[in-house]
Amino acid sequence: MDAEEEKQSKTHIHGQLVEINHNQEKRIRHEETKAQNLTTGFAVVQVLILNTLVINKPSGRCEHWWVPFSLSLSVGVIYFVTIFEVVKKCYLLLYHLDVNYMEQEAILLEMHGGASSRRHDQPLKPDVVKLLRRKAYITILISAMLAFQALMLHACSSFLCN
């Protein structure tokens, strides 16, 4: 392949990466919005369950504490599993977007006569600090949801029995 064909090939690949990255960014925004909506929905449903307990607190109904407890627990589990899957998908989409940006940058560098700093058989790896920051954010989000769920479960049993 001569130099002109190689440059056209790299230009074509670069154009495809730009389009792929644009679509990837749309998917990431969609998943982030979905995660935010699910988190908000989780909190609203849990507060509605608690609000129903406070408003309709029957006297002497400690033996039925398990009904709101079970409802809150099952809602929490369903939301937790769904949110975890959405957040995991968002993390993977961001990871692949980072790799695509790195590849796009390497192609641009090669197109403009710069030497590539990587071998083509070596996989691209995004910034470790950025990945750890994302994982820490996910861990904090999931931990906060679990703490909120634990508080709601405690409230379900204590409001009826105290």
Report whether 94 contacts 28 (CB < 8 A): yes
Q: What pTM did the predictor assign?
A: 0.80
Tokens of 117: 């700093």
Tokens, residue 136: 């820490």
Name the DSSP letter for residue 65: T
pLDDT of the residue at 115: 60
The predicted-structure confidence for 99-130, as pLDDT tens digits, reads as follows 999 998 888 888 777 665 555 667 888 889 99
Domain ranges for the chain, please list them: 3-161
Angle, CA 121 vertex, CA 118 and CA 127 arms, to 5° = 50
Q: How far apart are CA 41 and CA 49, in angstroms?
A: 12
Residue 149 CB-half CA count within 13 A: 19
Q: What's the number of CA atoms in the CB half-sphere (13 Å) around residue 85?
A: 6
What sign results for the dihedral spanned by CA atoms 136, 139, 145, 149? Answer: negative
Statement: residue 64 has pLDDT above 90? no
